[in-house]
Amino acid sequence: MAYDIDMIKKVYGHMADRVTKARDVVGKPLTLAEKILYSHLWDGEATTAYERAKDYVEFSPDRIACQDATAQMALLQFMQAGKKKVAVPTTVHCDHLIQAKMGAAIDLQSANKSSSEVFDFLESVSNKYGIGFWKPGAGIIHQVVLENYAFPGGMMIGTDSHTVNAGGLGMVAIGVGGADAVDVMAGMPWELKFPKLIGVKLTGKLSGWTAPKDVILKVAGILTVKGGTGAIIEYFGEGARSMSCTGKGTICNMGAEVGATTSTFGYDESMERYLKATNRADVAEAANAVKEHLTGDDEVYANPEQYFDEVIEINLSELKPHLNGPFTPDLATPISEMGVKAKENDWPINVDWGLIGSCTNSSYEDLTRAASIAQQAVDKKIKAKSDFGINPGSEQIRFTAERDGLLQIFEDLDATVFTNACGPCIGQWDRSDRKGEEKNTIVHSFNRNFSKRADGNPNTHAFVGSPEMVAAIAISGRLDFDPTRDKLINEDGEEVMLDEPKGIELPTKGFAVEDAGYVAPKEDGSSVEVKVAEDSERLQLLTPFEPWDGENLTGAKLLIKAWGKCTTDHISMAGPWLRYRGHLDNISNNCLIGAINAYNKKTNFVKSQITGEYDGVPAVQREYKKEGIPTVVVGDHNYGEGSSREHAAMEPRHLGVKVVLVKSFARIHETNLKKQGMLGLTFKNEEDYDLIQEDDTFNFIDLEEFAPDKDLTIEIVHADGSKDTIKAEHTYNQPQIEWYKHGSALNLIKKENVA
């Protein structure tokens, strides 16, 4: 039986009436995304047709998922909310704090020792507040969620940007910051600007070397890293129905890399098969009873241009295998063109590592397709030229794959099987062949490939591909290897070619596991004591942020003008910094250390207007805070792209930054700034970015009149006494302005609970 089956049946029980009512209110057929959104309104049945990309709407999500790195801050905030138990089903998954180095057993033992304080904290908080807890080694959050909790037509939020993975099982699943999750845990509505809708029509059928991963690699190339911002991507068509459920999950997972709010597919037979294979026949039965409401209306898919804001069509029969990268997930290159492109750009041709797994591609089917290539290398006497690393998605996947001999195939190629955890995908990788100044290349089946992402080395060129393509390229040892036409020389000196990969959608013997790693909470956790040591380096109880004094903000100094791409990895790095995710002051020492200073093109080297000297960003900002001087961060396009980590908003807030002024924001980061009581503003005229000088002072001269849909005026005073006056736009509605007035959304929640 599925977890929370009564909740799922309740959702399905009112879905028909709510969808019918929404269709009447909107006055036209509905997409799947619209059906799910309108059936999860906080106020119940629809009474208003919401305007896309304009109206803020309150929703009632069905469940919440948190990973250990972000759960710490989310639960530290929830502990201040004054609630005895979470209001909706919630889970915590320990997958980020396990470093890949020697192999699964040793690495897990090491993590349990080095991070025991954090794991114990998360388990005790979960036990106290009715939260399901998945132990270290149980698996990667999104694979575990897909196997156990995702259900067609549901709405879920999660404190990780790749929560969107659950769209592969027909959900609207959205990544959020911890403060958003706290709202829902506390029994409050969750607010989202009603998304735009992008339809992707898939025709034909995948075959040969082309995989579901290639669909999203192609889409990323079309939309770019910000093309999906503020939109839900809905996939449909015969091609969509021909893919496996986990293949759909891969596509939805990487939708985060185009900035999409989420991605989803309509309920079909592949989802039904997956539900039954993962011991959730009861969910499949319930879904079948309302399946007409778990996909878009026929009229929508027949004439998509009339119902979506943008439509993309991809013929899967013609789609070619791709590699995306380096340094950005939207630089899409067909495998057949990689050799020429690599030469033109001086990318290192020799491949040092092939990494398979992560939340994006660690399903049973993924492993079988990659293993079919690895087996050929063994059978055809081809010695792998690159090192191999494997991260199974869950203990259930690992156990089943070991039973069926899949892991042994990789081990026969001297692959290292890492823990069922994120590992290299998020920078938790103690790379055995550390590279220094030497440029080098790795290929992986992960989702992100920003500079320094996997191993902390800016000289590592990371390329994203399907598991089977990663396996083939790693075996060849060359980035320009095209398995559809290129031959390899085996140990006998013979020329051989790799045959097309073969995969198994679901294990023929069924899934199996001895200990999945789940710990259920106490029914009554009131007696559970949560302890945080005062001298802890890993955990720190939170102090509320100060409310706004109601006056104009004047005399603010420029902290940094960030140049080019500034992701949440640049603002708050992961890797070794993950250990401080529960200690706001300690982790603030990585604040903006990866951002490139526009004036000297260096990282972590900015000018202090107090001393006139250059120093690291956190050090300079701490001096400003000590002197009571407010500061401003200026940024480029799509500022805050990438992970949902709210630390990227909390760290500047904690250190005294008052305003982030950019050309444009990534959705989650903008919301996180608002939640933490920051001013997140955009230039009304992008060219005004060029006016900002290194020694500038900012006066926000009409902040006292802060109101929805009203631009703010900023007076910029340059070092020579000259001034420029510019306008800044914002997207704050009145409730969000109240967050700002109170110092944070959490402050407001606490005030309302006390009242």
Pairing of β 679-683 and β 723-729: antiparallel
CB neighbours of residue 513 within 10 Å:
17
Task: Check 461, 581, 645, 742 and give the catalytic one.
Answer: 645
Taking alpha carbons only, the member of 395, 330, 331 closest to residue 362 is: 395
> What is the Cα–Cα distance from 160 to 644, expressed in whole angstroms?
5
Collapsing DSSP states into helix, strand and coil, what is residue 590? helix
* Angle, alpha carbons 542-545-546 (nearest 5°): 145
Lookup result for tokens 């994120």: 422
> What is the Cα–Cα distance from 380 to 371, expressed in whole angstroms?
14
Taking alpha carbons only, the member of 37, 374, 345 closest to residue 190 is: 37
Contact 606, 191 (CB under 8 A): no
Lookup result for tokens 């083939």: 472
> What is the Cα–Cα distance from 139 to 145, expressed in whole angstroms?
10
Task: Check 95, 268, 330, 366 and give the catalytic one.
Answer: 95
Lookup result for tokens 């000289």: 459
The secondary structure of 165-216 as a DSSP string is GGGGGT-EEEE--HHHHHHHHTT--EEEEPPEEEEEEEES---TT--HHHHH
Let me know if 696 is a catalytic residue: no
> What is the Cα–Cα distance from 175 to 181, expressed in whole angstroms?
9
Let me know if 448 is a catalytic residue: yes
> What is the Cα–Cα distance from 513 to 41, expressed in whole angstroms?
38
Task: Check 18, 40, 63, 96 and give the catalytic one.
Answer: 96
Let me know if 241 is a catalytic residue: no
Two structure tokens written together for 166: 């659950």
End-to-end CA distance of the chain: 41
Contact 274, 147 (CB under 8 A): no
Lookup result for tokens 């596991």: 513
Task: Check 124, 394, 643, 744 and give the catalytic one.
Answer: 643
> What is the Cα–Cα distance from 441 to 388, expressed in whole angstroms?
13
Contact 406, 367 (CB under 8 A): yes
CB neighbours of residue 497 within 10 Å:
12
Contact 668, 644 (CB under 8 A): yes
Listed in sequence order, the residues at least 6 apart from 250 whose beta carbon sits closer than 8 Å to its beta carbon are 168, 211, 212, 213, 216, 360, 361, 363, 366
> What is the Cα–Cα distance from 574 to 587, expressed in whole angstroms?
10
Task: Check 448, 453, 570, 579 and give the catalytic one.
Answer: 448
Taking alpha carbons only, the member of 477, 467, 419 closest to residue 447 is: 467
Two structure tokens written together for 268: 């079909």
Let me know if 718 is a catalytic residue: no
Let me know if 183 is a catalytic residue: no
Two structure tokens written together for 94: 């320990």
Q: What are the start-end ranges of the E strands in 325-429?
A: 332-334, 351-357, 387-391, 416-417
Contact 321, 484 (CB under 8 A): yes
> What is the Cα–Cα distance from 286 to 291, expressed in whole angstroms?
9
647-681 in b/e form (b: 16+ CB < 10 A) is bbbbbbbbbbbbbbbbbbbbbbbbbbbbbbbbbbb
Let me know if 643 is a catalytic residue: yes
Task: Check 62, 160, 352, 455 and give the catalytic one.
Answer: 160
CB neighbours of residue 718 within 10 Å:
15
> What is the Cα–Cα distance from 5 to 287, expressed in whole angstroms?
11
Listed in sequence order, the residues at least 6 apart from 113 whose beta carbon sits closer than 8 Å to its beta carbon are none
The CA-atom distances, in angstroms, between 136 and each of 95, 394, 477, 577 are: 6, 10, 33, 18
Lookup result for tokens 């999500």: 61
Angle between the N-to-C axes of helices 364-379 and 467-476, in degrees from 0 to 180, rounded to the nearest 10: 20
Two structure tokens written together for 97: 């704090």
User: Which residues have a catalytic role annotated?
Assistant: 95-96, 160, 448, 643, 645
